[in-house]
Chains A and B, each alone.
Chain A
Amino acid sequence: AQSVTQLGSHVSVSEGALVLLRCNYSSSVPPYLFWYVQYPNQGLQLLLKYTTGATLVKGINGFEAEFKKSETSFHLTKPSAHMSDAAEYFCAVSGVTGGGNKLTFGTGTQLKVEL
Chain B
Amino acid sequence: EAGVAQSPRYKIIEKRQSVAFWCNPISGHATLYWYQQILGQGPKLLIQFQNNGVVDDSQLPKDRFSAERLKGVDSTLKIQPAKLEDSAVYLCASSLLAGGTEAFFGQGTRLTVV
B residues with a Cβ closer than 8 A to A are 4, 31, 33, 35, 40-45, 48, 50, 55-56, 58, 91, 93, 98-100, 102-108, 110
Contact = CB atoms under 8 A, between A and B. Distances in A.
Interface residues of A, dominant DSSP: strand
Residue of B41, B102, B106 contacting most chain A CB atoms (<10 Å)? B102
Contacts, number: 68
Given A32-B100, A95-B99, A100-B98, A44 B43 contact: yes
Nearest to A45: B105
Residue of A51, A101, A104, A107 contacting most chain B CB atoms (<10 Å)? A101
Nearest to A103: B103
Contact of B48 (A4, A34, A100, A107): A100
A9 B55 CA distance: 31
Interface of A: 4, 6, 32, 34, 36, 41-46, 49, 51, 90, 94-96, 99-108
